[in-house]
Structure 1
Amino acid sequence: MPSPPPDLIELAAAIKAWGVQLGFAEVGIADVDLGQAEAGLQAWLAQGHHGEMDYMASHGSKRARPAELLPGTLRAISVRMDYLPKNAAADWRAREAARLADPAAAVVSLYARGRDYHKVLRSRLQQLAARIEHAIGPFGYRVFTDSAPVMELPLAQKAGLGWRGKHTLLLNRQAGSMFFIGEILVDLALPVDAAVSAHCGQCSSCIDVCPTGAILGPGRLDARRCISYLTIELKGQIPLELRPLMGNHIYGCDDCQTACPWNKYAQRAVLADFDERNGLGSATLVDLFGWDEDAFHRRLEGSPIRRIGHERWLRNIAVALGNAATGARGNAALVAALQARADHPSALVREHVAWALARHG
């Protein structure tokens, strides 16, 4: 591949500097050849490990071929943005473990305790694209962040932002995995960055800690068993055999990340958008189960949690309340909270509440 002209080399350096100014922790540039990743995706889909996430398969080759999604695409400007809340304690991983051990605590994934990352990253990526356009004039581009059929993680790998850990998430030696990724597809022949090697070694902490056994082996995830999938993507009943394994997780799951040794290097967010809202890092199951639909939508304005809707929110919390029976069987407050929803208009909620009440005996 011929060397890019000096003006493109200078532009690439400027793009990285502008990205940091906009709140991104790191910016890398990759070509868009995802041939290797495409084969892995097709095998994963063929095994049905995507569950109800039909969108993973519905766009055919476009997911692994960015130039088909946006004709003329030559490069991906890939970014990552740290999201660990600024006020997270130095021992945040130990504190998260303590909440998991408290049957009355409602555990919400760290990334979802603040503002919806889709909105934050998309806005910042658009601003970065605008800066490029101001510098060079009109060019072809499109911004993405978990919002279209793009294989974001392989692009971030190629751009040198990290390696794919055994839990399938992107890992960075300086920042662990507590960050979001996004990209701008561009028609500019920018110089590309080198990928980094993997540094998981013999560690299997993420595999060992997964409550539901969703990580089948290094880099092999059955999403149908993943608590994040069960609490966010799954629309209907949570499988009976998986409910007791979910503990008090009500939205997402960070267990594989909190167990990962690399996350001792996790960096705090630089943007206030990811500050915790609504006390979601300290809330109880009973308190959150008491929110009616209006309170749910009002309190979670601008939160990624709103997209699952109030019905699935109650479904998830009902399971956690049922699991609380292992440490607080027959607890009057937990049982009363469940009984208050026993005649809920939703059959989905009623079934999960009945299951939870049966657990309390």
Structure 2
Amino acid sequence: MTKPAPEILRAAAPQPDGGGSDFAQLSRRIAAEGLLDRRPVYYAVRAGLVLFAFLDGWWALFALGDTWWQLALAAVMAGVFAQVGLLSHDLAHRQVFSRRLPSEVGGRIAANLLMGMSYGWWMNKHTRHHANPNHETRDPDVSPDLVVWSQRQARQASGLARFIGRRQAYLFFPLLLLEGLNLSFNSFRALRSPAVKRPLLEGVLLVVHFAAYFGLVFAALPLGKAVAFLAVHQALLGVYLGCVFAPNHKGMLMVTPEMRLDFLRRQVLTSRNVRGGLLLDAVMGGLNYQVEHHLFPSMPTPALGRAARITREFCAEKGIPYYETGLLRSYREILAHLHRTGEPIRSGG
């Protein structure tokens, strides 16, 4: 879906019917169901379980002692850290609290202190992504850094991006092994950016996190096992986060500066929902309902499933393509997209 198909172009123009914009009509249906109401019990239970798993993991590090079974714990802790990150995502979108201050306090505790990622840096980047998903020049998530996301980017690529672009479909998942390190690097680098509103506070929290992180691992394990633990943990954290976020938009419609889409269509046509059950909802933190999350970012996670049914029916009424698929199929589509976008580099274009 990287090139706008004819049916997508026909659906791109909103069709007002006297009841306001299409998005306004959908919003009224969503609000009437109470799907934007806060879910304090859900988030209290979820945060409690994540915090318990986080603390229990560090207790297990010392309980297990000098054994290579620690690498299994590192894999489990990668999942726990990712869940902390998903919780900070919900806090940033004010899904947990309606007010800014408690959302920011909770977000910085979860992201900076517990996970080791700058809340301010990620918030700025993620806000720009939500405003212009899959936009070639405005969405930082599809900027041509190491991977090119459109053939136009491929034709303009140089250096390492051009080298990787030739075989990026094969390198995509291996590159995710470095994503954990990339998040840490960008978090510290962003402390010098005006985008981070509380650089001193965030910097202190990051330093405390990594001092405790490295201190606990090296205190519990001999050098070789400690290094192996850190490597496995950071690598699998990157893979987990990449596998959660990649299906959301990658391989869907890429928006070019020439295209004109209203808010509803811009969010629906560039997003992919991933079918699954309660387990997938938990693993992906509700981001498998990406269409609804982009339309209603402050909607609590447990309301997204019901919102998806309403949105799917509404899009059918309006003739707007609404896409959802299985998890494995989404990965195949991502890799096929990456292979297509790298073609100009392979052909010397």
TM-score by length of 1: 0.25
Higher relative contact order (CA 8 A, sep 6+): 2
Larger strand proportion of the pair: 1
